[in-house]
Structure 1
Amino acid sequence: MTLAFLLDFLRELAANNHKSWMDANRAEYHRARAVFRELVEGVLQGVQDFEPEMRSLTANDTMYRINKNDRFQQSDEPYKRHMGAGMTRGGRHAPWAGYFLAIEPGDSWIGVGKWHPESAGLARIRQEIHYNSEVFHQMRQDADLLRHFPAGLEGERLQRPPKGYDKNDPDLEWLKLKDFTVFKSFSDADVLHPDFVKIVVADLRAGQPLVQFLNQALAEE
């Protein structure tokens, strides 16, 4: 696996982010994507060892397009500066919590959880936190989770209490969350380390209780 080639390609893309350059370098793009696919295959195999419900997934089921095509992209550049994958039950666009990987020179990262759940799912997660706060706090304060993701649970928050919750609720700051995620960043040297896949899989495994908590909430009607 030539991850150095992938990083080099993404650096060049960041410096030449327009269609004419991509058209002229299409062969290099496909080679870089093949390298990323191999990386995802290794990580996905590790995730499938502790997430049996994902064993039917292939790397192609998890990999995002490099074209910018959603409302969250603020730049007018046509291509993302990273390659990413979302390992969730049902594939990258499924509504479940899961495991995420992005490779970008100087800004690679992994994430676990659920980012921007739709409104019904968000309401179910808040309800689960409210009804099972002891389980929630044990999960988010778990020593193994915090060893791998020292910043802990984080995400965008509402300014005011969500509808239906009291401003004096002891869990208000957690109920205000709009995202339920943990993240870890990696340097380019980390990405090029021969044990990078093993390190990533170990990190993601530590986040499994968060995924289980969120998916239990999302599955409830």
Structure 2
Amino acid sequence: MKEIIDFLLDLSRNNNKEWFNANKRRYQEVLSRWNEFCGELIQAVGQYDPDIALLSVKDCTYRIYRDTRFSADKSPYKTHFGVFLSKGGKKSMHAGYYFHVGTGTGNEYPHCHMIASGNYCFEPRVVKMLREDISFGWEEFKEDVLDVAHPSFKVDMDGALKRVPKDYPADAPYADFMRLKSYSLVTYLDDDFILQPDLVTRVAELFKTVKPFNDYINRAVDFEKD
């Protein structure tokens, strides 16, 4: 992973087409290493989640080229690599497992290294079902889903409503989950974690602890799709 991080650091300092084209061969080498890692991660997670075992690397990875049409930031290239393992692939809108390597220069997306589960931008009907399921079955959700996740995972409150919807008590133990419009657990990593041996194994072990979270969300996603 060191070669990948070093490349991303250099790219962040030289985010232009001239530099990228001059370093295209280096990018291809780094991309090959990344794709190899992603293939191994798919196999590892697929051992306990059969939906993931069906995926290809292409189903789970992203282009390095940024879509700048609606962004004030016109930098042409992403300075991170991400892989999202989810039932049906990255565009299926299912909850899944996300691993992200950035420049390691901060604890904010996209510079950070991170692991996350869940997904963003769920259909309103899915959000409604999840709120109802969590509020009515809070103890089960906490015991069987939240408490089995590795303690480093935290609920991602980014984009949450400022107030609890009026249909739910603001002082309930599940109140924060009623504010969510997206459902994701996240943990941030440092260079030491990324650069130690057996990264695939260690990431897959963390992912395994959040499989119940993904399964819980995907139950609502599948119901809405049907």
TM-score range, shorter chain: 0.7 to 0.9
Which consecutive residues of structure 2, in runs of 5 or more, have no partner in the other structure? 105-111
Query: In 2, distance between residues paired with 1:71 and 1:128?
Result: 39
Deviations 1:107-158 (A, max 9, x none): 211111122323232222222223322222224541x41xx24243232320
Match of 2:34 among 36, 42, 62: 36
CA 1:50–1:81 in 2, change beyond 3 Å: closer, same or farther? Answer: same
Deviations 1:149-205 (A, max 9, x none): 42432323201333x723447233211112221222222232121121111010000
CA 1:31–1:176 in 2, change beyond 3 Å: closer, same or farther? Answer: same
Query: In 2, distance between residues paired with 1:71 and 1:111?
Result: 27
Query: In 2, distance between residues paired with 1:40 and 1:220?
Result: 29
CA 1:151–1:63 in 2, change beyond 3 Å: closer, same or farther? Answer: closer
Kept in 2, the 8 Å contact 1:105–1:188? The answer is no
CA 1:220–1:205 in 2, change beyond 3 Å: closer, same or farther? Answer: same
Segments ≥4 residues shifted beyond 4 Å: 70-74
CA 1:127–1:70 in 2, change beyond 3 Å: closer, same or farther? Answer: farther
In structure 2, what is the equivalent of residue 185 of structure 1? 188
In structure 1, what is the equivalent of residue 220 of structure 2? 217
In structure 1, what is the equivalent of residue 101 of structure 2? 103
In structure 2, what is the equivalent of residue 176 of structure 1? 179
In structure 1, what is the equivalent of residue 154 of structure 2? 152
Kept in 2, the 8 Å contact 1:68–1:79? The answer is yes
How do 1:1-221 and structure 2 match up within 5 A? 3-69=1-67, 75-106=73-104, 107-142=112-147, 144-145=148-149, 148-156=150-158, 157-162=160-165, 165-168=167-170, 170=172, 171-221=174-224
Deviations 1:49-90 (A, max 9, x none): 111122210112100111222889663212111011110011
One-letter amino acid matched to 2:27: Y
What's the % identity of the aligned pairs? 27
How far does residue 47 in structure 1 lie from its aligned partner after superposition? 0.8
TM-score between the two structures when normalised by the length of structure 1? 0.88
Matched length: 215
Root-mean-square deviation (CA, aligned residues, Å) is: 2.2
SS in 2 for 1:50: coil
Deviates more, 1:83-92 or 1:170-179: 170-179
Deviates more, 1:22-31 or 1:127-136: 127-136
CA 1:185–1:119 in 2, change beyond 3 Å: closer, same or farther? Answer: same
TM-score between the two structures when normalised by the length of structure 2? 0.86
Query: In 1, distance between residues paired with 2:44 and 2:70?
Result: 30
Which consecutive residues of structure 1, in runs of 5 or more, have no partner in the other structure? none
CA 1:181–1:4 in 2, change beyond 3 Å: closer, same or farther? Answer: same
CA 1:135–1:75 in 2, change beyond 3 Å: closer, same or farther? Answer: farther
